[in-house]
Amino acid sequence: MKDPRLIVLRPIVTEKTADLKESTNTVCFQVARDANKIEVRKAVEALFGVKVVEVRVVNVRGKQRRFGRHTGLRPDWRKAYVRLVAGEKTIEFFDQV
């Protein structure tokens, strides 16, 4: 298995993810582009010591941006919605919101 810190890159903390955490015990992470659901599940369980029920992965396309007359493209990235077992302790990143 790859190093879990290379799979789970950063947490995504927004109003939508805060609502998901409260209602369905789901947290959101930016993950490596080549990571699959099984690798994300094992990485979250190893890093945070929690049990995972379900993982959903989404590929996000980079937006086109302009600076004057020049155009560029932000990089594509991948995010994962990870649902934790009911009654499981929460992850510290999401408690600070």
pLDDT at 94: 63
pLDDT at 68: 94
pLDDT at 58: 98
pLDDT at 87: 87
pLDDT at 96: 63
In the chain, the domains with their CATH numbers are 4-95 (3.30.70.330)
pLDDT, tens only, 23-77:
999 999 999 999 999 999 999 999 999 999 999 999 999 999 999 999 999 999 9
In 8-61, alpha helices (H):
15-24, 37-48
Quick one: how far is CA 70 from the chain centroid? 31
**pTM (predicted TM-score):** 0.89
**Of 94, 83, 97, 87, nearest to 24 (Cα)?**
83
pLDDT at 95: 65
pLDDT at 97: 54
